Amino acid sequence: MKKGVMRPGHVQLRVLDLEAAVAHYRDLLGLIETDRDSQGRVYLKGWTEVDKFSVVLREADSAGMDFMAFKCVSEAVVDSLRDELAAAGYAVEEIPAGELNDCGRRVSFLAPSGHTFELFATKAQPGKWGVGKLNPEAWPRGLQGMRATRFDHCLLYGIELDKTLELFRDILGFDLAEQVVTPEGKRVAQFLTVSMKAHDIAFIEHPEPGKFHHASFYLESWGDVLRAADLISMTETSIDIGPTRHGLTHGATIYFFDPAGNRNEVFCGGDYHYPDHEPVTWEAEQLGKAIFYHDRVLNERFLGVLT
Amino acid sequence: MKKGVMRPGHVQLRVLDLEAAVAHYRDLLGLIETDRDSQGRVYLKGWTEVDKFSVVLREADSAGMDFMAFKCVSEAVVDSLRDELAAAGYAVEEIPAGELNDCGRRVSFLAPSGHTFELFATKAQPGKWGVGKLNPEAWPRGLQGMRATRFDHCLLYGIELDKTLELFRDILGFDLAEQVVTPEGKRVAQFLTVSMKAHDIAFIEHPEPGKFHHASFYLESWGDVLRAADLISMTETSIDIGPTRHGLTHGATIYFFDPAGNRNEVFCGGDYHYPDHEPVTWEAEQLGKAIFYHDRVLNERFLGVLT
Amino acid sequence: MKKGVMRPGHVQLRVLDLEAAVAHYRDLLGLIETDRDSQGRVYLKGWTEVDKFSVVLREADSAGMDFMAFKCVSEAVVDSLRDELAAAGYAVEEIPAGELNDCGRRVSFLAPSGHTFELFATKAQPGKWGVGKLNPEAWPRGLQGMRATRFDHCLLYGIELDKTLELFRDILGFDLAEQVVTPEGKRVAQFLTVSMKAHDIAFIEHPEPGKFHHASFYLESWGDVLRAADLISMTETSIDIGPTRHGLTHGATIYFFDPAGNRNEVFCGGDYHYPDHEPVTWEAEQLGKAIFYHDRVLNERFLGVLT
Amino acid sequence: MKKGVMRPGHVQLRVLDLEAAVAHYRDLLGLIETDRDSQGRVYLKGWTEVDKFSVVLREADSAGMDFMAFKCVSEAVVDSLRDELAAAGYAVEEIPAGELNDCGRRVSFLAPSGHTFELFATKAQPGKWGVGKLNPEAWPRGLQGMRATRFDHCLLYGIELDKTLELFRDILGFDLAEQVVTPEGKRVAQFLTVSMKAHDIAFIEHPEPGKFHHASFYLESWGDVLRAADLISMTETSIDIGPTRHGLTHGATIYFFDPAGNRNEVFCGGDYHYPDHEPVTWEAEQLGKAIFYHDRVLNERFLGVLT
């Protein structure tokens, strides 16, 4: 949080069938539906998140990610980062307050990787779902499905990893926590954090810009990962891989797909990061183990990404 | 235990390099080496097993299973079952006491599936490893690797499932706990138990007799399954699949290979059985889910078996 | 199961307020309510139990246990054991089929400890709740509260432990799995099993006959034990002790109370038993550790028992 | 990290018998011994900590805490905070580099609560123990005992909570994450964080200044908490309470004592914090549940603190 950016604030995903998607994210992942807007978009959040929403679903003709936003500690930080972005040559767009329900103005820009990001500081804050701020119970009754606790990060595929790292590190105050490097010294994956988390955003080198690999949600335990895998089968949801562990970050994970084909991850555990930690490096020759620590090979589906 | 057969007593596996195999079963699975004999065979057991050994490794030119033995409650039971086997037309061989160190006489016979089984009642019983019978601690200090608690069961591939079921059910007192049945009503997999366990021995229909799929070892928890998977990677051991869950028995599992190519399983949890339980049936059309509950497809390796 | 006794079949508990008790056993423990009878008794079972019920609640002026029953493999076994009991001098009562809904005739007798036990072989068997016998999912959707899987055992306080052991061992075919012995060699606690479980019934020496310590229910994992403890707090249920581990049997456990004051246990894990296992012995000087392995002292409440 | 303070860097504890203490922290907690100095002090760290040490043991005539230090992102931050402390009237002492082996200069001051704290920015950084920065395995082989991953926080008892909060919040950049408040509105416990952790330092109101309640270490899972409790019994270590959960922070925990009587905690899980989170408040009437979520009463030992 060197520059005042706190955390992933929301991600807007395109889905093909809105109600099928809501059933997936609400009933299977266990996110809480908090609102719908006049455009027909649906807002959801994990139960531990204090802000009103962290996932926005928009019905469209193709799946993928519209944008991902980071919450800043103050509007002044948003102003300051907007000016730094503009000074660095980024075309910055201001989206007025209210374009997303109960969310303040957002500053939007296109990263060199080809993805749209936003910064904002203001969002309605109803608090954690089902537990108050006074004598809160350990967890709320009535959670559904996987009981995902929060939207955690995205993994994106795209171009220009070096310039994207400069943007996130030098302007937005992220650290490079983990990376994959080829024998020639080229960084082909970068996991960036603005907190103690092993990653708040991650990028993998890809010939096309702006591709979406997955949106990830946090679970409390490895037991919850098994439960999530069971629910994936019980609901005949398309699974990619898991339960397994990543080498990168060491989180314990499952990949699966929403009805539109957007990949989701649920995971638990993994490494923590402080600003004085040197980056962890995985050699590209070990990419299989870096991604899927147990199988030690990539499955074919891992390479599949959406616009 | 209707007829006095208690449990899987031991399995003798052929390995290509004895010391490599010992390192695998002792240091990675965490079995306890308890003896070696004049033939060069190595004896091991899980720490919770009271008998002297449950795994015997024999160096040979090809991998696979020599035989699997069941322990009976008394020598009288062994006599009685030997007579019943003989009366049913099985060629029964008596192996004298001492052929395996500290093990009494064994009665050996060839099942219709093409596998050699043994019955015995006497084996040295040093008790659980590292904890005594007096004020025993919860677990012993100094366990290695996966800390496998016991040899649990084998899965075998072979012919003549019906006749094999008759042998195990009618003569040896096992129950059919779970089965896979084709649309035509043919049973192509049968999981048999002589206890509360979901399976003490299992068979899958295969055109060749006497094939070995895996020997399985019990772990205490799903956390131990993750730890086992991590150790498989750290030791560059060949993995087959997992961590995952089976549909059949619902145990949480990993399949991997010893250095000779014998498949091992470590697993935890799963269903229990009583004699008044009707068999659980999986339809052959659901075989993928029955075997690998999360992926819901068989991997190619699952079909690989050894002589 | 040497003599054909399979498992604890049911326990009938007296409660002071029937609906409060139903809310406790159904909504907190997560048992399934399966019937009510013309006497007003309520029938429940754990979701993995195939028989129609395992817990019967009866409203009365005082809490405690009316009787505990064991299911036998056949009516012939019930006849045979009834005759053996009578021959040994026990006053045996036949309770006609239907006295408990959908349960066959029961043979009732008073053990030397002062507790009433029953034997039966016939009970309606609707199968596991929420999962069928065909392609069964890993667990059913819609479970409540602690999701207790089955009624597991009772711990009773009473007199005449030696005679009670003789009854259970010599007539009913149980094994002595674990015991607590004083320096003078007197057995003051005995844990008996008729299966692979560490105990199907347990007794602790007490100056008064026929006292009830707890009825115990099985959970799937240590994570479920934490969840159960959380639910105990969230519902303001009276807790006795835990989460902790027992030294005896090594199960991981919580003790708490139903609204009438009957103690319940939920637990997971623990040792397994085979007929050739020698009993585990705890010295009475180590009783604190034998009962509560972590605290290593008895709490005052442990000594509290009901008629 | 608003002001550049990153995390708890080390705690120096007084112990009565140095080798007994080393055995406790190294062999039971599983910390790594990294150095000893000319004063005889012993340095240790958790395996995930990149800095050389986080615990310093000093043999003395009485147990307790000498001081706790926070690591800052740079020497410039240390200078700046020193100046702010001095300007606020705190007597600030500079301790030269090398007074602790391989640690840079430290700035020391006495908080209003009566405890000595330090700030520093430089310490030798050998990286995580047993896993490198290149293709790191999930965890190192050879860990001992509880396998504590890191020194996490301290809970201290003392006076002047309001002034102490002002110091930590306004000068050092901590947030008030959780608090206990009396009906009269007096804050009697405050849990402060400078990161995503639920607490990096916590204070409870006490009539005497400068008391030490516990030093806490992080474990990976609830399964590790059970394992830790088992080890406490196996080593006949004095236990305070647990396994249980806290209401405050919701971490799953055990309290126990080192041979000198210093209380330790090992815990896992619990809430996370961001700067825009409002503090969680527990009412003092609910203090039992706030501290021990399951028992909902304080045990007598909880009130015991050391100088």
Percent pLDDT > 70 in chain D is 98
The ipTM of this complex is 0.96
Contacts of D230 in chain B (CB under 8 A): 137-139
The DSSP 8-state label assigned to residue C292 in this structure reads S
Distance (Å, whole) CA D103 – CA B38: 59
Model pLDDT, residue B136: 98
Model pLDDT, residue D303: 64
Q: How far is D257 from chain A (nearest CA, A)?
A: 26
Kindly state the average pLDDT of the residues D33-45: 98
From C206, C214, C218, C273, the catalytic residue: C214
Q: Tell me the pLDDT tens digit for each residue of A74-92.
A: 999 999 999 999 999 999 9
Q: Tell me the pLDDT tens digit for each residue of C258-278.
A: 999 999 999 999 999 999 999
Mapping DSSP to helix (H, G, I), strand (E, B) and coil, where does residue A103 land? strand
Distance (Å, whole) CA A59 – CA A39: 9
> Is the pLDDT at B83 greater than 80, yes or no?
yes
Q: Tell me the pLDDT tens digit for each residue of A109-161.
A: 999 999 999 999 999 999 999 998 999 999 999 999 999 999 999 999 999 99
Give the count of beta carbons closer than 10 Å to the beta carbon of residue A40.
Answer: 10
- With both helix axes pointing from N to C terminus, report the angle between B222-234 and A222-234 in degrees, rounded to the nearest 10: 100
Q: Does A252 touch chain B (CB under 8 A)?
A: yes
Q: Tell me the pLDDT tens digit for each residue of A179-215.
A: 999 999 999 999 999 999 999 999 999 999 999 999 9
Confidence of residue C182 (pLDDT cuts 50, 70, 90): very high
Model pLDDT, residue D298: 87
Kindly state the average pLDDT of the residues B191-211: 97
Q: Tell me the pLDDT tens digit for each residue of B123-179.
A: 999 999 999 899 999 999 999 999 999 999 999 999 999 999 999 999 999 999 999
Q: Chain centroid to CA D288: how far?
A: 22
Confidence of residue D307 (pLDDT cuts 50, 70, 90): low
Mean of the per-residue pLDDT values for chain B?
96
Beta bridge partners of D212: D156, D306
Catalytic residues of D: 153, 199, 214, 246, 255, 265
Mapping DSSP to helix (H, G, I), strand (E, B) and coil, where does residue C264 land? strand
Q: Tell me the pLDDT tens digit for each residue of D83-100.
A: 999 999 999 999 999 999
Are D296 and C223 inside 8 Å of each other by CB? no
Distance (Å, whole) CA D170 – CA D165: 8
Confidence of residue D1 (pLDDT cuts 50, 70, 90): confident
Which residue shows structure tokens 């062999």?
D27
Mapping DSSP to helix (H, G, I), strand (E, B) and coil, where does residue B301 land? helix
> Is the pLDDT at A307 greater than 60, yes or no?
no
Q: How far is B55 from chain D (nearest CA, A)?
A: 26
Whether pTM exceeds 0.90: yes
> Is the pLDDT at D302 greater than 80, yes or no?
no
Distance (Å, whole) CA D53 – CA D13: 13
> Is the pLDDT at B305 greater than 80, yes or no?
no
Confidence of residue A274 (pLDDT cuts 50, 70, 90): very high
Distance (Å, whole) CA A172 – CA A5: 7
Cis bond upstream, residue A243 (ω within 30): yes
Kindly state the average pLDDT of the residues A12-24: 98
CA-wise closest residue to B293 among B246, B238, B235: B246
Model pLDDT, residue C98: 98
Mapping DSSP to helix (H, G, I), strand (E, B) and coil, where does residue D257 land? strand
Cis bond upstream, residue D243 (ω within 30): yes
Mean of the per-residue pLDDT values for chain D?
96
Are D138 and B223 inside 8 Å of each other by CB? no
Which residue shows structure tokens 């400069």?
A166
Burial of A35 (0-12, 13-18, 19+ CB in 10 A): middle
Contacts of D247 in chain A (CB under 8 A): 135-136, 138
Contacts of C223 in chain A (CB under 8 A): 221, 223
> Is the pLDDT at C302 greater than 80, yes or no?
no
Which residue shows structure tokens 């347990």?
C202
Q: Does A253 touch chain B (CB under 8 A)?
A: no
Strand order through the sheet with A42-45: A32-36, A42-45, A55-59, A5-15, A64-72, A116-120, A106-110, A93-95
Confidence of residue A97 (pLDDT cuts 50, 70, 90): very high
Percent pLDDT > 70 in chain C is 98
Distance (Å, whole) CA D226 – CA C268: 12
Q: Does B136 touch chain D (CB under 8 A)?
A: no
Distance (Å, whole) CA D305 – CA D290: 18
Q: Judge whether B199 counts as a catalytic residue.
A: yes
Q: Does A221 touch chain D (CB under 8 A)?
A: yes
A98 within 8 A of A123, measured Cβ to Cβ: no
Are A243 and B295 inside 8 Å of each other by CB? no
> Best of D294, D296, D297, D301 to disrupt the C interface by mutation (most C CBs within 10 Å)?
D294
Minimal Cβ distance to C230: which of A138, A221, A233 = A138
> Is the pLDDT at B306 greater than 90, yes or no?
no
Distance (Å, whole) CA D265 – CA C39: 52
Mapping DSSP to helix (H, G, I), strand (E, B) and coil, where does residue B101 land? coil
Contacts of B222 in chain A (CB under 8 A): 222-223, 226
Contacts of A137 in chain C (CB under 8 A): 230, 233-234
Q: Tell me the pLDDT tens digit for each residue of B3-55.
A: 999 999 999 999 999 999 999 999 999 999 999 999 999 999 999 999 999 99
Distance (Å, whole) CA B272 – CA B193: 10
Are D276 and A50 inside 8 Å of each other by CB? yes
Confidence of residue D245 (pLDDT cuts 50, 70, 90): very high
> Is the pLDDT at A300 greater than 70, yes or no?
no
A59 within 8 A of A15, measured Cβ to Cβ: yes
Are B245 and A229 inside 8 Å of each other by CB? yes
Q: Does C233 touch chain D (CB under 8 A)?
A: yes
Model pLDDT, residue C298: 87
Return phi, psi of residue B83, to 5°. Answer: -65, -40
D226 within 8 A of D267, measured Cβ to Cβ: no
Are B294 and A223 inside 8 Å of each other by CB? no
Model pLDDT, residue A122: 98
Q: Between the CA of residue B278 and those of A16, B141, B177, B283, what are the distances in Å?
A: 44, 41, 7, 16
Model pLDDT, residue C303: 64
Q: Which residues contact A168 (CB under 8 A, 6 or more apart)?
A: A111, A174, A192, A201
Distance (Å, whole) CA C302 – CA C305: 8
Model pLDDT, residue C236: 97
> Is the pLDDT at C12 greater than 80, yes or no?
yes
Contacts of D277 in chain A (CB under 8 A): 50
Q: Tell me the pLDDT tens digit for each residue of A238-260.
A: 999 999 999 999 999 999 999 99
